[in-house]
Amino acid sequence: MSGSLLYLSGVGKSFDGFRAIDNLSLVVFPGELRAVIGPNGAGKTTMMDIITGKTRPDEGEVFWKESVDLTRADEVETARLGIGRKFQKPSVIESLTVAENLELALKGPRGVAARLFGRRGETEAREIARLLALVRLEEARDAPAGSLSHGQKQWLEIGMLLAQDPELLLVDEPAAGMTDAETMRTAELLREIAGRHAVVVVEHDMEFVRALGCKVTVLHQGRVLAEGSLEHVSANPEVIEVYLGR
């Protein structure tokens, strides 16, 4: 689709004859913020596995920027193309400080250290300061990552992913295990980073999805059941039956 960052059409994937993904279509535009919701087993994880090249679909098209066929890419290639993935469990290095974790992340293949020549130290320091402010961890700069709260660790990991300047960030249930205040702060953070990066968030927490205030895609049995604003999809009788009416 014209101008799309990510384009999935007619995608299918079976595991031992079970249709985990069934004729799935999804279009994400540059800078867009999108929530993907759906009951357990709806295919959300498999969808993200297909986008990142972890899983190969049996059929259908998956295109990056209308030209790169992601069905032929592996996880290393999709990361290099600019697809970042945040898993549920944070994977920060607990013995290093917050700033050191970010510094390490900046040394990745798409980090600022690889992108810019000369005055590298200065540029890196500026980028670390920008990321610390963005994820609201300025005060924890020199604290070991292991001493952070669960929510702060999630934000640090988001900062580490942003250090790679992804064009698309996939985020898996960021609000799981967070306090209400952390949940709202996370929604605010994702809203802030969208625009510069497209962000696709898989989430169960409806209050969180409401706070994101973005277009919602409802998955069920591996396909898109409804799409639109949260108000729009919440009014869909099929969505109410399979998901919201529980």
- Indicate whether 175 belongs to the interface with ligand ADP (CB under 6 A): no
Closer Cβ to ligand ADP, 18 or 117, answer by number? 18
Residue among 3, 40, 231, 237 that touches ligand ADP (CB under 6 A): 40
DSSP state of 244: I
Sign (positive or negative) of CA dihedral 40, 35, 194, 208: negative
Please, which residue, 20 or 112, has the CB nearer to ligand ADP?
A: 20
Nearest CA to 93 out of 142, 156, 40 is that of 156
Instruction: Give the strand pairing for 6-15 and 18-28.
Output: antiparallel
Q: Are 12 and 23 a contacting pair, CB within 8 Å?
A: yes
Residue with Cβ nearer ligand ADP (38 or 174): 38
Is residue 152 within the footprint of ligand ADP (CB under 6 A)? no
Q: Is 38 in the site for ligand ADP (CB under 6 A)?
A: yes
Q: For ligand ADP, give the closer residue by CB, 19 or 130.
A: 19
- Given 4, 26, 32, 43, the residue binding ligand ADP (CB under 6 A): 43
Question: Does residue 239 touch ligand ADP according to CB under 6 A?
Answer: no
* CA dist 231 → 59, 160, 212 (Å): 32, 33, 13
- Residue 42 as a binder of ligand ADP (CB under 6 A): the answer is yes
CA angle 29, 33, 35 (to 5 degrees): 115
Among 20, 83, 158, 193, binds ligand ADP (CB under 6 A): 20
CB nearer to ligand ADP: pick between 43 and 111 = 43
Compute the distance between CA of residue 134 and CA of residue 163 in angstroms, rounded to an integer.
11
What residues numbered 45-104 form the site for ligand ADP, per CB under 6 A? Answer: 45-46
Instruction: Give the residue from 98, 91, 112 showing the smallest Cα distance to 163.
Output: 112
Chain residues in the site for ligand ADP (CB under 6 A): 15, 20, 38, 40-46
